[in-house]
Amino acid sequence: MTFKTLLAHLDVGQTNTELLQVASDLGNRLDARVVGIAAYQPMRVFDEEMYAGDETIAACEDELAAELLTVETEFRYALQGNSAPVSWRSICTSKALPDYVTDQARCADLLITCVATSDAFDFSRHVDTDDLVMLAGKPVLVVPRAKGEIRFDRVLLAWKDSREARRAAFDALPLMALASQVSVLEIAKEEDLAAAHTRVDDVVAWLAHHGIGADPVIVAASGFTAVQLDAELTNRNIDLVVAGAYSRNPLRGWALGGVTYHLLRGNHCVLLSH
Protein backbone atom coordinates (compact mmCIF):
# COMPACT_ATOMS: atom_id res chain seq x y z
CA MET A 1 0.00 0.00 0.00
CA THR A 2 1.17 3.52 -0.79
CA PHE A 3 -0.18 6.98 -1.41
CA LYS A 4 -0.38 7.68 -5.15
CA THR A 5 -2.28 10.98 -5.03
CA LEU A 6 -1.92 13.76 -2.46
CA LEU A 7 -4.47 16.58 -2.19
CA ALA A 8 -2.75 19.70 -0.83
CA HIS A 9 -5.25 22.23 0.52
CA LEU A 10 -3.84 25.77 0.41
CA ASP A 11 -5.26 28.52 2.57
CA VAL A 12 -6.30 31.69 0.75
CA GLY A 13 -4.84 34.85 2.24
CA GLN A 14 -2.06 33.09 4.20
CA THR A 15 1.37 31.75 3.40
CA ASN A 16 1.48 28.00 2.73
CA THR A 17 5.24 27.46 2.91
CA GLU A 18 5.27 24.61 5.43
CA LEU A 19 2.43 22.73 3.76
CA LEU A 20 4.04 22.98 0.32
CA GLN A 21 7.38 21.74 1.67
CA VAL A 22 5.64 18.64 3.03
CA ALA A 23 3.57 18.11 -0.14
CA SER A 24 6.65 18.38 -2.35
CA ASP A 25 8.76 16.13 -0.13
CA LEU A 26 6.11 13.40 0.14
CA GLY A 27 5.25 13.67 -3.53
CA ASN A 28 8.87 12.94 -4.45
CA ARG A 29 9.50 10.27 -1.81
CA LEU A 30 6.28 8.40 -2.62
CA ASP A 31 6.35 9.14 -6.36
CA ALA A 32 2.81 10.47 -5.92
CA ARG A 33 1.01 13.07 -7.99
CA VAL A 34 0.07 16.20 -6.07
CA VAL A 35 -3.22 18.04 -6.60
CA GLY A 36 -3.38 21.56 -5.20
CA ILE A 37 -6.73 22.98 -4.12
CA ALA A 38 -8.01 26.32 -2.82
CA ALA A 39 -11.42 27.95 -2.60
CA TYR A 40 -13.29 30.96 -1.32
CA GLN A 41 -16.90 32.02 -0.97
CA PRO A 42 -18.28 35.10 -2.72
CA MET A 43 -18.67 38.27 -0.72
CA ARG A 44 -21.99 38.73 1.02
CA VAL A 45 -24.04 41.42 -0.71
CA PHE A 46 -25.50 42.66 2.56
CA ASP A 47 -25.81 41.89 6.22
CA GLU A 48 -28.05 43.14 9.01
CA GLU A 49 -26.40 46.55 9.21
CA MET A 50 -25.24 47.53 5.74
CA TYR A 51 -25.51 46.95 2.03
CA ALA A 52 -22.40 46.58 -0.08
CA GLY A 53 -22.57 48.56 -3.30
CA ASP A 54 -21.66 47.16 -6.70
CA GLU A 55 -18.24 48.82 -6.70
CA THR A 56 -17.40 47.44 -3.27
CA ILE A 57 -18.51 43.97 -4.27
CA ALA A 58 -16.48 44.09 -7.49
CA ALA A 59 -13.38 45.30 -5.65
CA CYS A 60 -13.66 42.54 -3.06
CA GLU A 61 -14.20 39.89 -5.71
CA ASP A 62 -11.13 41.13 -7.58
CA GLU A 63 -9.11 40.96 -4.38
CA LEU A 64 -10.23 37.40 -3.63
CA ALA A 65 -9.55 36.30 -7.21
CA ALA A 66 -6.06 37.80 -6.94
CA GLU A 67 -5.45 35.92 -3.69
CA LEU A 68 -6.54 32.69 -5.39
CA LEU A 69 -4.09 33.34 -8.22
CA THR A 70 -1.37 34.02 -5.66
CA VAL A 71 -1.79 30.66 -3.94
CA GLU A 72 -1.87 28.87 -7.32
CA THR A 73 1.39 30.55 -8.27
CA GLU A 74 2.83 29.61 -4.87
CA PHE A 75 1.79 25.99 -5.43
CA ARG A 76 3.17 25.68 -8.94
CA TYR A 77 6.48 27.28 -7.97
CA ALA A 78 6.98 24.98 -4.96
CA LEU A 79 6.10 21.84 -6.93
CA GLN A 80 7.89 22.67 -10.19
CA GLY A 81 10.69 20.20 -9.52
CA ASN A 82 8.53 17.23 -8.58
CA SER A 83 8.97 14.04 -10.54
CA ALA A 84 5.27 13.06 -10.54
CA PRO A 85 2.56 15.16 -12.24
CA VAL A 86 0.92 18.07 -10.42
CA SER A 87 -2.44 19.72 -11.08
CA TRP A 88 -4.53 22.55 -9.66
CA ARG A 89 -8.18 23.00 -8.65
CA SER A 90 -9.76 26.22 -7.42
CA ILE A 91 -13.18 27.77 -7.27
CA CYS A 92 -15.40 30.52 -5.93
CA THR A 93 -18.22 28.51 -4.39
CA SER A 94 -21.36 29.10 -2.38
CA LYS A 95 -20.84 25.76 -0.63
CA ALA A 96 -19.30 25.58 2.81
CA LEU A 97 -15.57 25.34 2.15
CA PRO A 98 -15.02 22.09 4.12
CA ASP A 99 -17.76 20.49 1.99
CA TYR A 100 -16.08 21.55 -1.25
CA VAL A 101 -12.60 20.43 -0.19
CA THR A 102 -13.77 17.07 1.14
CA ASP A 103 -15.81 16.48 -2.03
CA GLN A 104 -12.57 16.84 -3.97
CA ALA A 105 -10.82 14.40 -1.62
CA ARG A 106 -12.41 11.64 -3.71
CA CYS A 107 -9.44 12.01 -6.08
CA ALA A 108 -6.76 11.43 -3.44
CA ASP A 109 -5.35 9.00 -0.90
CA LEU A 110 -4.25 11.68 1.58
CA LEU A 111 -5.45 15.22 2.30
CA ILE A 112 -2.79 17.66 3.52
CA THR A 113 -3.75 20.91 5.24
CA CYS A 114 -2.77 23.48 7.89
CA VAL A 115 -4.80 25.06 10.64
CA ALA A 116 -5.71 28.64 9.74
CA THR A 117 -4.09 31.09 12.16
CA SER A 118 -5.44 34.45 10.97
CA ASP A 119 -9.04 35.53 10.43
CA ALA A 120 -10.12 32.28 12.05
CA PHE A 121 -13.77 33.26 11.80
CA ASP A 122 -13.59 34.26 8.13
CA PHE A 123 -15.20 31.13 6.75
CA SER A 124 -15.37 32.71 3.28
CA ARG A 125 -11.62 32.11 2.87
CA HIS A 126 -10.50 29.74 5.62
CA VAL A 127 -11.54 26.14 6.14
CA ASP A 128 -12.47 24.88 9.59
CA THR A 129 -9.92 22.08 10.08
CA ASP A 130 -12.12 20.33 12.63
CA ASP A 131 -14.85 19.97 10.00
CA LEU A 132 -12.32 18.88 7.40
CA VAL A 133 -11.05 16.01 9.56
CA MET A 134 -14.56 14.82 10.42
CA LEU A 135 -15.92 15.05 6.86
CA ALA A 136 -13.01 13.90 4.71
CA GLY A 137 -13.47 10.14 4.77
CA LYS A 138 -9.73 10.05 4.05
CA PRO A 139 -6.70 10.49 6.32
CA VAL A 140 -5.87 14.14 6.94
CA LEU A 141 -2.27 15.24 7.49
CA VAL A 142 -2.24 18.50 9.46
CA VAL A 143 1.02 20.42 9.10
CA PRO A 144 1.98 22.92 11.82
CA ARG A 145 3.08 26.40 10.80
CA ALA A 146 6.60 27.70 11.50
CA LYS A 147 7.80 24.17 12.26
CA GLY A 148 10.64 24.00 9.76
CA GLU A 149 11.51 20.88 7.77
CA ILE A 150 9.56 17.73 8.67
CA ARG A 151 11.34 14.51 7.71
CA PHE A 152 8.86 11.89 9.00
CA ASP A 153 11.80 10.04 10.48
CA ARG A 154 10.32 9.48 13.97
CA VAL A 155 6.67 8.47 14.07
CA LEU A 156 4.48 7.79 17.09
CA LEU A 157 1.18 5.93 16.81
CA ALA A 158 -1.05 7.10 19.67
CA TRP A 159 -2.95 3.90 20.37
CA LYS A 160 -6.42 3.58 21.78
CA ASP A 161 -8.34 0.36 21.24
CA SER A 162 -10.97 1.96 19.01
CA ARG A 163 -12.24 2.03 15.45
CA GLU A 164 -10.68 5.44 14.84
CA ALA A 165 -7.21 4.37 16.02
CA ARG A 166 -7.34 1.19 13.92
CA ARG A 167 -8.32 3.27 10.89
CA ALA A 168 -5.50 5.75 11.52
CA ALA A 169 -2.91 3.00 11.94
CA PHE A 170 -3.86 1.45 8.62
CA ASP A 171 -4.04 4.81 6.84
CA ALA A 172 -0.58 5.80 8.07
CA LEU A 173 1.25 2.69 6.84
CA PRO A 174 2.89 4.49 3.88
CA LEU A 175 4.26 7.21 6.15
CA MET A 176 5.39 4.80 8.87
CA ALA A 177 7.25 2.88 6.17
CA LEU A 178 9.36 6.02 5.53
CA ALA A 179 10.39 6.30 9.19
CA SER A 180 13.54 4.96 10.81
CA GLN A 181 11.86 4.83 14.22
CA VAL A 182 8.21 4.01 15.00
CA SER A 183 6.69 3.81 18.48
CA VAL A 184 3.26 2.57 19.49
CA LEU A 185 2.13 4.36 22.64
CA GLU A 186 -0.85 3.66 24.87
CA ILE A 187 -1.58 5.70 27.98
CA ALA A 188 -3.54 3.42 30.30
CA LYS A 189 -4.94 3.43 33.80
CA GLU A 190 -2.92 1.52 36.40
CA GLU A 191 -5.40 -1.35 36.53
CA ASP A 192 -5.37 -1.66 32.73
CA LEU A 193 -1.61 -1.72 32.14
CA ALA A 194 -1.36 -5.49 31.59
CA ALA A 195 -4.15 -5.41 29.00
CA ALA A 196 -2.52 -2.38 27.36
CA HIS A 197 0.72 -4.35 26.92
CA THR A 198 -1.24 -7.09 25.13
CA ARG A 199 -2.98 -4.59 22.86
CA VAL A 200 0.17 -2.71 21.93
CA ASP A 201 2.13 -5.93 21.34
CA ASP A 202 -0.59 -6.97 18.87
CA VAL A 203 -0.22 -3.69 16.99
CA VAL A 204 3.58 -3.98 16.94
CA ALA A 205 3.32 -7.52 15.54
CA TRP A 206 0.83 -6.35 12.90
CA LEU A 207 3.19 -3.58 11.82
CA ALA A 208 6.05 -6.09 11.60
CA HIS A 209 4.04 -8.10 9.07
CA HIS A 210 4.00 -4.92 6.97
CA GLY A 211 7.77 -4.62 7.22
CA ILE A 212 7.65 -1.85 9.83
CA GLY A 213 9.62 -2.27 13.05
CA ALA A 214 8.05 -0.55 16.05
CA ASP A 215 8.72 -0.17 19.76
CA PRO A 216 5.91 -0.73 22.30
CA VAL A 217 5.50 2.07 24.85
CA ILE A 218 3.08 1.81 27.77
CA VAL A 219 2.62 4.78 30.07
CA ALA A 220 0.55 4.89 33.25
CA ALA A 221 -2.11 7.59 33.10
CA SER A 222 -1.63 10.54 35.41
CA GLY A 223 -3.56 13.74 34.85
CA PHE A 224 -4.70 14.93 31.43
CA THR A 225 -4.03 12.51 28.56
CA ALA A 226 -3.36 15.34 26.10
CA VAL A 227 -0.65 16.79 28.35
CA GLN A 228 0.99 13.39 28.84
CA LEU A 229 0.90 12.70 25.12
CA ASP A 230 2.44 16.08 24.34
CA ALA A 231 5.27 15.39 26.78
CA GLU A 232 6.00 12.03 25.14
CA LEU A 233 6.04 13.63 21.69
CA THR A 234 8.47 16.29 22.82
CA ASN A 235 10.74 13.93 24.77
CA ARG A 236 10.97 11.54 21.83
CA ASN A 237 11.48 14.32 19.28
CA ILE A 238 8.59 12.98 17.20
CA ASP A 239 8.16 14.21 13.62
CA LEU A 240 4.69 12.76 13.09
CA VAL A 241 1.97 11.58 15.45
CA VAL A 242 -0.72 9.25 14.12
CA ALA A 243 -4.05 9.20 15.94
CA GLY A 244 -7.72 8.54 15.58
CA ALA A 245 -9.94 11.61 15.44
CA TYR A 246 -12.77 11.63 17.96
CA SER A 247 -15.79 13.90 18.32
CA ARG A 248 -18.25 14.39 21.16
CA ASN A 249 -21.14 15.11 18.82
CA PRO A 250 -21.84 13.19 15.61
CA LEU A 251 -23.87 16.07 14.15
CA ARG A 252 -22.49 19.03 12.20
CA GLY A 253 -21.24 21.56 14.70
CA TRP A 254 -19.56 18.83 16.75
CA ALA A 255 -17.01 19.45 19.45
CA LEU A 256 -13.82 17.48 19.01
CA GLY A 257 -12.54 15.28 21.81
CA GLY A 258 -9.90 16.81 24.04
CA VAL A 259 -6.87 14.95 22.64
CA THR A 260 -7.93 15.51 19.01
CA TYR A 261 -8.51 19.21 19.65
CA HIS A 262 -5.13 19.49 21.38
CA LEU A 263 -3.27 17.73 18.57
CA LEU A 264 -4.80 19.95 15.91
CA ARG A 265 -3.60 23.07 17.70
CA GLY A 266 -0.23 21.80 18.84
CA ASN A 267 3.20 22.09 17.32
CA HIS A 268 3.45 18.58 15.89
CA CYS A 269 2.59 17.25 12.47
CA VAL A 270 -0.34 14.89 12.90
CA LEU A 271 -2.16 12.37 10.73
CA LEU A 272 -5.78 11.98 11.83
CA SER A 273 -8.43 9.52 10.65
CA HIS A 274 -12.07 9.45 11.63
In a domain, 67, yes or no: yes
Q: What is the pLDDT of residue 5?
A: 98
Query: Which tens digits make up the pLDDT trace of 173-220?
Result: 999 999 999 999 999 999 999 999 999 999 999 999 999 999 999 999
Is residue 245 a part of any domain in this protein? yes
When mean pLDDT is compared over 37-46, 141-150, 156-165, the highest value belongs to 156-165
Q: Are residues 137 and 179 in the same domain?
A: no
Query: What are 3-43's pLDDT values in tens digits?
Result: 999 999 999 888 899 999 999 999 999 999 999 999 988 86
Give, as one character, the DSSP assignment of residue 206.
H
Q: Which of 117, 142, 167 is the last residue of a domain?
A: 142
Whether 167 and 78 share a structural domain: no
Find the domain containing 65 and state its range. 5-142
How high is the pLDDT of residue 254? 46
Please report whether residue 207 resides in a domain.
yes
pLDDT digits (tens, 9 = 90+) for 83-130: 889 999 999 888 999 999 999 999 999 999 998 765 555 667 788 888
Q: Can you tell me the distance from the alpha carbon of 271 to that of 199, in angstroms, rounded to the nearest whole number?
A: 21
The answer to whether the predicted template modeling score (pTM) of the entire model surpasses 0.85 is yes
Let me know if residue 128 belongs to a domain.
yes
Residue 147 in domain = no
Based on the domain organization, do 209 and 136 belong to the same domain?
A: no
Domain count, the chain: 2
CATH at residue 131: 3.40.50.620
Identify whether 148 is part of a domain: no
The better pLDDT of the pair 154, 267 is held by 154
CA distance 256 to 264: 10
172 in the same domain as 109: no
CA torsion angle 42 40 79 88 (round to 10) = -70
pLDDT in tens, 227-261: 899 999 999 999 999 999 987 655 544 455 678 88
- Across the strands, what pairs with 158? 185
Question: Residue 148: its pLDDT value, please?
Answer: 72
Q: Calculate helix-pair angle for 163-171, 193-209, nearest 10 degrees.
A: 30
> Which of 111, 142, 173 is where one domain is finished?
142
User: Quick one: pLDDT at residue 221?
Assistant: 94
Tell me: do 84 and 57 sit in the same domain: yes
Quick one: pLDDT at residue 252?
Answer: 46
The reply to whether 69 and 173 lie within a common domain is no
The verdict on residue 149 lying in a domain is no
Query: Which of 108, 142, 176 lies at the terminal end of a domain, its last residue?
Result: 142
Is the predicted pLDDT of residue 131 greater than 80, yes or no?
Answer: yes
Are 135 and 171 contained in the same domain? no
